[in-house]
Amino acid sequence: MFTISEIAAEKAKQVLEAEGKAEWGLRIYTAGGGCCGPAYGMDVEETPQAGDEVVEKNGLRVFADQQTFQNLTGMEMDFVDDGVNQGFVIKGQNPEPPSCGCAGGSCG
C-alpha cells in the first residue's frame, strides 16, 4: 500500500490552495530510473485519468497510473524540512527490489 504522511498532506493542500487549485490533486509519475529502481516526479493535476489509482489523505488526492502505483507499494509520500532544504519525498522500500544485480542494495 502507498501512504501519505500527515505533514505531506497538509503541505500539499497549502501549495494547491496558494496556486488557486485547492480542489485539484497531485500526480506522481515515473520519471526514469536505473539499476536501483525508478525515479519519481510530481505535478499538479485537476482530475485523475482513466485507469488511475487514487489515494486520499485529509482531503488531498494523489493520482498515479497503474505501473507507477505498483512501484510505489510499501512507500510513503512525506514532506521534509531540514532547515536548509524542504520538499516532498517518496521514501521507503518497494518489497520487490530491482533485479539488476546491485550488490547489497548499492548501485555504484
pLDDT in tens, 22-76: 999 999 999 877 676 778 899 999 999 999 999 999 999 999 999 999 999 999 9
> What pTM did the predictor assign?
0.80
Q: Strand 75-81 to strand 86-92: parallel, antiparallel, or no bridges (unpaired)?
A: antiparallel
Query: From CA 95, how far away is CA 73, in angstroms rounded?
Result: 7
